[in-house]
Amino acid sequence: MDSSIRLRHSPNVVDATFQEGQILAEKVSKPASTIVLPAKTGTYMIKAVDVLGISSLNSTKSKIIMNQIDYNFNVVETSTQSPNFTAGTKSDDVEVVTRDGENFLQLLTGELFDDASGNFDSQLGNFDDGGDTANNVEGTYDFPVIDTGNIFTSRVTVNLGFNRFDPTSFFDSFGGNFDAREGLFDGNYNEFDDVNVEMLISTSNDNSTYTDYRNYILGDYKTRYIKLRAKLTTTSGTSAPAIHTLSATVDMPDRVYGQGDIASGTAGGGKAITYSPAFKAVQALGITVGDLDQNEHYVITNKSASGFTITFYQGSGTGSVVNKTFDYQAKGYGYLESS
């Protein structure tokens, strides 16, 4: 077994802790010395792990503040699960708990005290946490399905924040060997490496056949239907991840589409223009006509995300259609891949 590094990321730029960072790379082994990951504002934290699986006591931290590079993105869908966590689907091992007036989506690490085998007073751990007789090492929370309306290429961004919850904070309250616990004996340690929340994604074009869940990464997805799953895990008998912030946004970039020197013709129904491909939404439409005189005007009808119809008329009414050469430019967002 080679020595390696483990990488976590916290969205916090100030006071980020390793134990509340999401694992981005579980193991980067030698001889690799680099890894490519999506750039995100926050704190990247690295620990070395030796050949026996023992990690370094403290992590090395690097803070990054990204400029708003994607200023031309438009939010088309938002799915906010916190603070109530009632819209999605929880596995049996995950529940909403309230502490100090704040809701947390938490992995339960124990069972009810009267469900355990053995003597009533032989259970380890806190009475109201069910002891530690049946440790749940993972659980899930599924977002409601996100529907973008058609097959588009969209940027999916997840906002996740969680704490490490451990009710057995005294050194003689947790299971295992006395000297197996991480951190300093008398310190307020915040570098634990035993809990994580992993984000997974599954996509479909027909809301019937979905891909297998795979690791979510910040990026663009060509699809219509999006499923997101938070997978809560722990390697400890007493500590658990407790999510306090969980949401997702689906964005599409600005797009400009236009054509020039188009003859409108004299058909009574006007000249129909079709965007290729269609937008998700059109925010503005500009028309330029080089030889429109004061007695002529145009009327735009059937304006939609897929095109419009333009008709040029002589005079103030709509009786005499004239042929004109025009340019147009449409600004919106979204690139329809398939309807």
Domain borders along the chain are: 1-67, 70-252, 264-338
CA distance 47 to 55: 6
Residue 254: CB partners within 8 Å, gap ≥ 6?
72, 73, 74, 331, 332, 333
Q: Please, what sign has the CA dihedral across residues 108, 110, 113, 117?
A: positive
pLDDT for 322: 95
Mention the CATH class of domain 264-338. Answer: mainly beta
CA distance 169 to 294: 82
pLDDT for 71: 60
Distances (CA, A) of 5 to 44, 46, 51, 236: 13, 7, 11, 20
CA distance 321 to 267: 7
pLDDT for 122: 58
Residue 46: CB partners within 8 Å, gap ≥ 6?
5, 6, 7, 8, 59, 60, 62
pTM: 0.79
The 3-class secondary structure across 262-300, one letter per residue, is EECCCCCCCEEEECCCCCCEEEEEEEEECCCCCCEEEEE
pLDDT for 326: 97
Q: Is 126 helix (H, G, I), strand (E, B) or coil?
A: coil
Tell me, which fold does domain 70-252 have in CATH? Jelly Rolls (2.60.120)
* Mean pLDDT in consecutive groups of 10 residues from the start of the chain, 339 residues: 74 82 75 71 83 76 67 90 97 94 90 56 53 69 97 95 79 49 55 91 97 93 97 89 96 96 95 96 96 92 97 88 97 89
Q: Is 157 helix (H, G, I), strand (E, B) or coil?
A: strand
CA distance 220 to 211: 16
Nearest of 252, 272, 265, 270 to residue 331 by alpha carbon: 252
